[in-house]
Amino acid sequence: MSIAVGVGFIALAGVAAETGVIMLLYLDQAWNEARSKCSAEGRSLRRADLYAAVGAGAVDRVRPKVMTVTATMAGLLPIMWGTGTGSEVMHRIAAPMVGGLVSSTLLTLLVIPAIYTVWQGWVHRHDFGS
């Protein structure tokens, strides 16, 4: 652990937080649209509506997240492979970002929607009809 590795972790935390917040915004938007649709149709909410909304919101973020990770990796891999003056420090900055982007992608695309579904299911447990 060095200062350069700490800088890499801070940069990774910024990217992961940004994509996580954007995922939550997409999930909220899809869920609010589903709730409005149910209200306009005059029917009660169902868990299937929640699952469909979260699925639609998460799918909308797959391509942008993969494109972000691909572009960031394309910029970081030459730094990881580089040799020359200062390359030792740059390796330490890029290494946590490369590894963390993989786990951040899984977190953003799989774990956050799952937790959001459980959370909204608990919050709206009394609103769900049969």
pLDDT digits (tens, 9 = 90+) for 19-76: 889 899 999 999 999 999 988 988 888 889 999 999 999 998 889 888 888 898 898 8
Q: What angle do CA 84, 69, 18 make, to 5 degrees?
A: 110
The candidate with the shortest Cα–Cα distance to 60, out of 103, 26, 37, 33, is: 26
Note the pTM of the prediction, 2 decimals.
0.81
3-123 classified as CATH 1.20.1640.10: yes
| pLDDT of 88 strictly over 90 | no
Q: What angle do CA 7, 62, 60 make, to 5 degrees?
A: 125
Per domain, the residue ranges of the chain are 3-123
| Rounded mean pLDDT, 91-111 | 86
Task: Report d(CA 7, CA 95) in Å as an integer.
Answer: 11
Task: Report d(CA 16, CA 121) in Å as an integer.
Answer: 25
| pLDDT of 129 strictly over 80 | no
